[in-house]
Amino acid sequence: MLTKPDTNKPAFAHATELINRIDNNQCVTCPSDILDMDFKDELSIKEYGISGMCQTCQDSVFGNNTDE
């Protein structure tokens, strides 16, 4: 089970739209729905819990867009 990002952190203080996306199980950077099965590994799941980004956005931001 995924742990959602802590929306009480300062990064979300003035980001109501991001909080709404997290509450609705959506990526904070694109319109994708967040599903447990979409993440490649535990590190990606942990990153979702920090940033709220889906696997595709994580790959784009962190430069890991190779399929294993």
Q: Quick check: is 1 in a domain?
A: no
pLDDT of residue 46: 95
pLDDT per residue, tens digit, the chain (68 aa), is 789 999 999 988 899 999 999 999 999 999 999 998 899 999 999 999 999 999 999 999 998 765 55
> Rounded distance, CA 66 to CA 59, Å?
8
Residue 18 resides in a domain: yes
Specify the pTM. Answer: 0.84
Instruction: Count the domains in the chain.
Output: 1
Cα–Cα nearest to 22, from 11, 6, 9:
6
pLDDT at 65: 61
Residue type, 45: I
Tell me, yes or no, whether 68 lies in a domain.
no
Query: 24 forms bridges with which residues in the sheet?
Result: none
What pLDDT is attached to residue 36?
85
Residue 47: CA count within 13 A, CB half-sphere:
18
